[in-house]
């Protein structure tokens, strides 16, 4: 028997109470972003699949529904993330040369949930900053994200910051091949320290003990920076890799709960510098993520410094009851 009212797993209706909560939060965030100089863009729900898979495709690909365009015969994809779409708009649609601040809000669709309690149709809100190199842009986006979360009533948060550039530089200088890189990336993402040590044992010194140390370089900022300087001693690029982390520690508001994690590789295939995740009591998963992804716009005709964040308003609904 067919039950016509059934919805697919992890797909849901929003009834009036939840719908008004989400809409109120959306309006508040967009007003906040507009007040900070961010311009609203509305990317399409579908694009040619290759546009949705540029650079980030190794991670976005499995989340993206695909279909055939009856007009062109080409393969289309339902957007699973709006970051790449915003980068395309900046690099090609607007062809911007200077600093450009864009924001967006809308539904995206995933082939599978990113976590057991998450929807396959998140409502994504995000902001992207183009044309600002390095720490200045990173700090603007981090502080903007914290301001947005505070507007939503999420004040007791912890910011976890990683440095993808450090891992990528180690991989490059150690001469790892594609297979080795995939192996160590998977091990670090699984937080499997014993397997990491076994894997690194086959590497020549000093890279064997340097990679072995990565799995344990997480915790309070001072502790991680000190441990990294000991574990990675002698590496010529170490201080330049740690400097952005040191600056984040100094420039974020003093009351911000902060931790560092040098094994955080979320978005490693396209992020190029600092990455961050924000955690909040009552949520098992990060409530927001972001980071630097310089030059991703090159695939759309113009390489640009870029950094941004996004969050899923649907995932935050349990804490948004005040926005009815």
Q: What is the pLDDT of residues 302-323, one digit of tens each?
A: 889 999 999 999 999 988 866 6
pLDDT for position 57: 45
What is the rounded CA–CA span in Å between residue 214 and residue 224?
Answer: 10
pLDDT at 1 over 70: no
16 neighbors 79 (Cβ within 8 angstroms): no
What is the rounded CA–CA span in Å between residue 87 and residue 290?
Answer: 14
pLDDT at 54 over 70: no
pLDDT at 126 over 60: yes
19 neighbors 319 (Cβ within 8 angstroms): no
CA 195 to chain centre: 26
Structural domains of the chain in order of their starting residue, each with its CATH number: 8-154+301-316 (3.30.930.10), 158-279 (3.30.930.10)
pLDDT in tens, 235-275: 999 999 999 999 999 999 888 999 999 999 988 888 999 99
pLDDT at 229 over 80: yes
CA–CA distances in Å: residue 314 to residues 93, 146, 321: 29, 18, 12
Q: What is the DSSP string of 171-201?
A: HHHHT--HHHHHHHHHHHHTT-HHHHHHHHT
274 neighbors 163 (Cβ within 8 angstroms): yes
Which alpha helices (DSSP H) does the chain contain, by range? 16-35, 57-60, 83-88, 135-151, 164-174, 178-189, 193-200, 207-214, 221-231, 238-251
Question: Residue 127 contacts by C-beta under 8 Å, 6 or more apart in sequence?
Answer: 33, 38, 101, 102, 103, 141, 144, 145, 148, 308, 309, 310
pLDDT for position 222: 95
Instruction: List 123's β-bridge partners, or say none.
Output: 107
Q: Please tell me whether residue 129 adopts helix, strand or coil conformation.
A: strand
Comparing CA positions, the residue from 287, 262, 285 lying closest to residue 275 is 262
CA 18 to chain centre: 26
pLDDT at 60 over 80: no
pLDDT in tens, 169-189: 999 999 999 999 999 999 999
pLDDT for position 299: 75
Q: What is the mean pLDDT of residues 113-139?
A: 95
210 neighbors 235 (Cβ within 8 angstroms): yes
Question: Residues at the annotated binding site?
Answer: 81-83, 124, 128
pLDDT for position 194: 95
pLDDT at 164 over 60: yes
Q: What is the mean pLDDT of residues 228-241?
A: 95
pLDDT at 324 over 80: no
pLDDT at 30 over 70: yes
pLDDT in tens, 84-108: 999 999 988 787 789 999 999 999 9
What is the rounded CA–CA span in Å between residue 16 and residue 119?
Answer: 18
The pTM for the full model equals 0.93
Which residue has tokens 């502080």? Answer: 143
| Contacts within 8 Å (CB) and 24+ apart, 240-244 | 241/163, 241/165, 241/166, 241/169, 242/163, 242/166, 244/134, 244/135, 244/138, 244/163, 244/273, 244/274
Question: Residues at the annotated binding site for L-histidine?
Answer: 81-83, 124, 128
Instruction: List 279's β-bridge partners, or say none.
Output: 158
Q: Please tell me what DSSP assigns to residue 105.
A: E
pLDDT at 19 over 80: yes
pLDDT for position 94: 86
* Mean pLDDT score of the chain: 92
pLDDT for position 95: 76
């Amino acid at each position: 028997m067919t039950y016509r009212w059934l919805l697919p797993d992890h797909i849901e209706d929003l009834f009036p109470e939840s719908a008004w909560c989400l809409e109120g939060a959306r309006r508040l965030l967009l007003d906040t972003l507009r007040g900070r100089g961010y311009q609203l863009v509305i990317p399409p729900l579908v694009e040619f699949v290759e546009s949705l898979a540029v650079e980030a495709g190794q991670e976005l690909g499995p989340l993206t529904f695909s279909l055939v365009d009856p007009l062109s015969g080409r393969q289309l994809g339902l957007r699973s993330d709006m970051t790449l779409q915003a980068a395309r708009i900046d690099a090609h649609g607007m062809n911007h040369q200077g600093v450009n601040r864009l924001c967006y809000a809308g539904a995206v669709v995933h082939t599978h949930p990113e976590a057991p309690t998450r929807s396959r149709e998140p409502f994504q809100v995000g902001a992207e900053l183009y044309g600002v190199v390095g720490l200045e842009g990173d700090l603007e986006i981090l502080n903007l994200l914290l301001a947005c979360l505070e507007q939503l009533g999420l004040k007791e948060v912890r910011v976890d910051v990683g440095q993808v550039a450090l891992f990528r530089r180690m991989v490059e200088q150690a001469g790892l091949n594609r297979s080795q890189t995939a192996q160590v990336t998977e091990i670090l993402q699984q937080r499997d320290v014993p397997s990491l040590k076994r894997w690194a044992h086959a590497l020549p010194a000093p890279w064997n003990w340097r990679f072995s140390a990565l799995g344990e370089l997480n915790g309070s900022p001072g502790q991680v920076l000190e441990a990294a300087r000991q574990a990675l001693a002698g590496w010529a690029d170490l201080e330049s890799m740690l400097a952005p982390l040191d600056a984040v520690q100094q420039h974020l508001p003093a009351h911000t709960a902060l931790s560092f994690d040098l094994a955080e590789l979320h978005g490693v295939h396209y992020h190029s510098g600092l990455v961050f995740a924000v955690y909040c009591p009552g949520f098992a998963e990060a409530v927001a993520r972001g980071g630097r992804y310089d030059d991703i716009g090159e695939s759309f005709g113009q390489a640009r410094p870029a950094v941004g964040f996004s969050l899923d308003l649907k995932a935050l609904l349990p804490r948004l009851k005040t926005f009815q």
